[in-house]
A and B are shown apart, each in its own frame.
Chain A
Amino acid sequence: MLSLPLLKQSIRSNAVMWGSMTGVMTLLCVQFSMLDMTRSLLFTIFYGMMTTILPGIYVLVTANKLLASQVDRGSMAYVLATPTKRSTVTFTQAFYLVNSLIAMFGVQTLAHLATNAAKPIALGEMGYTMLAGDLTSKMIAQVNLSALMVCIALSAVCFMFSGIFSSSKYSIGLSGTFIGVSILANMLAMFGNLGVDGLKNFKYLTICSFYDYQSVLFSGNEWITKLIFPAAIAVAAFTVGELCFSKKDLPL
């Protein structure tokens, strides 16, 4: 099912993109949680936007590179000229995509845990005046898990387009539209939450709405139920991508 040599190649060829996105996300997280000027915006700006925008860009580029672009360029021919099944190729690439996201959020979570231990922040300081106490390590882990699940769903949809189309321009075009709409709608919905009522309904336009850091901060359980939907979307989209890629004619 999993091809180790192919996995290695995927890690190598996407290392720069992964490294820079992880680096930027981690640095921003450290900055937002450490600097007095920006601490109060840790959740609105960093967890509200950056944890979907940065991984969003990463999955948009990477998902396309994992299948569609290799078919488009022709390098997939070398992979399939070996006794490797197409299903093994898609499984390996999807495995890479999901695990690279897990690693990305892992690094950033660890960084945040470290900065939070060094310089704890009260929930009240970030605008949640009705809540007592500091931001706990448990909350940080839960918020990141919630964001990770949504990012996996985003990656799965991009992967699906990458599997369906044999040409980069269609794969990246549709994935880009999807990611763009998801992130923009999420931002607009966030303004809705902050008081612009007319923008509230945008939350129905994006799967980023299943990422619910407020529920975590309020120690609710909603965020756990909301994990199920992106998980289901991810499974469905990865499956469709897999099937399309395995069945279609490849112009190699």
Chain B
Amino acid sequence: MIKVNELTHDYGHGRGVFDVSFEVGKGETLGFLGPNGAGKSTTMRHLMGFSKPQKGEVSIGGLDCTAKPSEIMKNVGYLPGEVALPEGLSGRQFIKMMQDMRGVRNDERVRELLERFKLDPSGSVKRMSIGEKRKLAVVTAFMSDPEILLLDEPTSGLDPVMQEEFISFIREEKVKGRTILLSSHIFSEVEALCDRIAIIKDGRLVSTVDAAEIRHGLHNIMTIEFENAGDFTEFGRQELDFALRDRSSLKCSVVVDDEDINRFIRAIRRFRIKSFAEHSVTLEEYFMHFYKNDKHFGGVSYA
């Protein structure tokens, strides 16, 4: 449904997007994860037809985004990253304006959404808090029940309760078979919602991963604290994949794949251990690794 092919737009000073390619299939949710300024919004901007690619193509539903944006918008709900709403309107007037501009009137749906997000649209937009404006934008993006949703950092500005509510709301939308592109830098939200996750950094797509894989845990990391330095040194000679060895605290972190777990347990039996902790590599850690420039992380090498 959504297709980005070798999209390049160089804004100079290393900013922009370079050779970004990905696809979002019908009914799929793709998470678009990256630090600030990585190019998430720029990519969205091209999908919305606001900017023209210098190179490459972007299309939605087979229609070119730069040639036919108004045609495409009939099936697209867009939640901009900015919550700058048109001036001089009350919340209700804004909803009415967007309904008229979309040519879709579904008051029942609007009421439902307002109730769900606990939003009172009667006041002036100007006086609303960022969270309220965001809710208003959510309502207008979803009220016409569009097939395709482009959500640019949808939960920023919402309180934790509303973030939860939004996530469960998107889950329901997914069941309805919506195609969703969700950009975010919040791991939990991407982890909870997306089928696949594309990670973008400095304008380049660095990795696309299956969310199921990450939920299961990419790898296990065991952290062991030894009682004495002798054991610490001795343990260091084992043939294991060490992620960290810290002599001052006598702590070791070892990366262990599921199939090696027995070998690992046999190896540590001989030592006197003070404490032991195990955790899985989460999306957050996986992602943090792209912030930092190390190429080796958690036993997984990336070229």
Interface 1/0 per residue, B114-150 and A, CB below 8 Å? 0000000000000000000000010011000000000
B166 located at the interface, meaning its Cβ lies under 8 Å from any Cβ of chain A in the complex: no
- B78 is an interface residue with CB less than 8 A from chain A: yes
Neighbouring A residues of B49 by C-beta, 8 Å? 80
Write out, one digit per residue, whether chain A residues 5-22 have a CB within 8 A of any chain B CB (1) or not (0). 110110011110000000
Q: Does B5 contact A (CB under 8 A)?
A: no
A78-B86, A80-B50 as given contacts; A5 in contact with B100, CB under 8 Å: yes
Give B85's nearest chain A residue, CB to CB: A75
B101 near A5 (CB under 8 angstroms)?
A: yes
- The answer to whether A77 and B48 have CB atoms under 8 Å apart is yes
For residue B9, which residue of chain A has the nearest CB?
A249
Interface size counted on chain A using CB atoms at 8 A: 29
B88 at the interface (CB under 8 A from A): yes
Expressed in whole angstroms, the minimum distance between the Cβ of A66 and any Cβ of chain B is 11
Bound-state CA distance A80–B74 (Å) is 11
Q: In the complex, are the beta carbons of B70 and A84 less than 8 A apart?
A: yes
B89 x A81 contact (CB < 8 A): no
Q: Are B74 and A83 in contact (CB under 8 A)?
A: yes
Interface residues of B in 251-271 (CB under 8 A from A): none
Question: Contacts of A75 on B, CB cut-off 8 Å?
Answer: 84-87
Given known A74-B80, A249-B50, contact A84–B101 (CB-CB < 8 A): yes
A177 within 8 A of B: no
Q: Are A78 and B137 in contact (CB under 8 A)?
A: yes
In the complex, which residue of chain B has the Cβ closest to the Cβ of A11? B88
Contacts of B141 in A (CB 8 A): 81
- Let me know if A13 and B50 touch, CB within 8 A: no
Counting chain B residues whose Cβ lies within 8 A of the other chain, the interface size class is: 20 to 34
Bound Cα distance A98, B55 (Å): 39
User: A82-B98, A83-B74 known; A9 and B80 CB under 8 Å?
Assistant: no
Q: Does B76 count as interface, using CB distance less than 8 angstroms?
A: yes
B17 to chain A, nearest CB (A): 13
Known contacts A9-B86, A84-B70; decide if A77 and B97 are in contact (CB<8 Å): no
Tell me the complex Cα distance, A250–B82, Å.
14
Contact in complex: A81, B88 (CB < 8 Å): no
Q: Whole-angstrom distance between the alpha carbons of A73 and B87 in the complex?
A: 10
| B78 closest partner in A (C-beta) | A81
Knowing A12-B93, A77-B78, A79-B101 touch, does A85 contact B70 (C-beta < 8 A)?
Answer: yes
Find chain B residues with CB under 8 A from A80 CB: 48-50, 69, 73
Bound-complex Cα distance A75 to B87 (A)? 8
A70 with B86, Cβ < 8 A, contacts A79-B101, A83-B102, A83-B103 known: yes
**CA of A241 to CA of B74 in the docked complex: distance in angstroms?**
26
Q: Are A83 and B86 in contact (CB under 8 A)?
A: no
Asked if B71 is at the interface of the complex by the 8 Å CB criterion, the answer is: yes
Which residue of chain A lies nearest to B52 when distances are taken between CB atoms in the complex? A249
Interface pair A250/B102, CB less than 8 Å apart: no
Nearest neighbor of B152 in chain A, beta-carbon distance:
A77
What is the CA–CA distance of A252 and B46 in the complex, to the nearest angstrom?
Answer: 10
A252 touches B69 (CB 8 A): no
Q: How far is the CA of A81 from the CA of B79 in the complex (A)?
A: 9
Distance in angstroms between the alpha carbons of A73 and B85 in the assembled complex: 9
Chain B 31-67 near chain A by CB (<8 Å), digits 1 or 0: 0000000000000010011111000000000000000
Is A4's beta carbon under 8 Å from chain B?
yes
Cα–Cα, bound, A82→B48 (Å): 10
Q: A118-152, CB under 8 A of B: which get 1 and which 0? A: 00000000000000000000000000000000000
Cα–Cα distance between A9 and B137 once the two chains are bound (Å)? 17
Are B71 and A9 interface neighbours, CB within 8 A?
Answer: no
Answer yes or no: A3 CB below 8 A from chain B CBs: yes
Chain B: CB-nearest residue to A252: B50
In the docked arrangement, what's the CA distance between A75 and B146, Å? Answer: 20
Determine the distance from Cα of A73 to Cα of B100 in the docked complex, in whole angstroms. 22
Which residue of the partner chain A has the closest CB to B87? Answer: A13
Residues of A within 8 A of B76 (CB): 81
Interchain CA distance A92-B74 in the complex, whole Å:
20
Q: Is the CB of A249 within 8 A of B73?
A: no
Distance between Cα atoms of A151 and B28 in the complex (Å): 54
Supplied contacts A78-B86, A251-B51, 11 more A-B pairs, CB within 8 Å: A3-B101, A5-B101, A13-B86, A73-B82, A75-B86, A77-B84, A82-B73, A82-B101, A83-B71, A250-B45, A252-B50
Selected A-B contacts with CB under 8 Å, 21 pairs: A5-B98, A5-B100, A9-B86, A12-B89, A13-B88, A13-B89, A14-B88, A77-B50, A77-B78, A77-B84, A78-B86, A80-B48, A81-B48, A81-B80, A83-B73, A85-B70, A88-B70, A249-B50, A249-B52, A252-B50, A252-B82
Q: What are the 6 closest A-B residue pairs judged by CB atoms, nearest first?
A: A13-B88, A5-B100, A74-B82, A74-B84, A82-B101, A81-B78
